[in-house]
Amino acid sequence: SERVYKRRTNPFDTFEELVRIGYGKFDIQVLTTFLSNISRYYIGAAVKMNNGETGEVIFIAPQCISRPIVSINGNYIDLFKDRHYKIVEVL
């Protein structure tokens, strides 16, 4: 959510932050189960990319839930391999 003191973040940035800081603070099994289950809700979601294009989340690999595969204009982009693309907003 948008806050006075902080801008809204998209779920994929939040997943990345939880992975980054969570492994030292949370039970690893609980964290990975939580992230695996919650990320499934975003398959099929419309997203806005950092270049202004819109796409759809097609697949989220369990080993990298913060960088899914996105379909943009019929082209599949693996955000894990193609690092210059980034999701900036879930529509």
Per-residue pLDDT at 70: 96
| Cβ atoms 60, 39 nearer than 8 A | yes
The per-residue pLDDT for 81 is: 92
pLDDT of residue 21: 85
> pLDDT of the chain along its 91 residues, tens only?
767 877 778 899 888 888 888 777 888 888 888 988 998 899 999 999 999 999 999 999 888 888 999 999 999 999 999 989 999 989 9
pLDDT of the residue at 25? 86
pLDDT, position 6: 73
* Cα–Cα distance measured from residue 89 to residue 49, given in angstroms and rounded to the nearest whole number: 7
pLDDT of residue 22: 79
d(CA 1, CA 52): 21
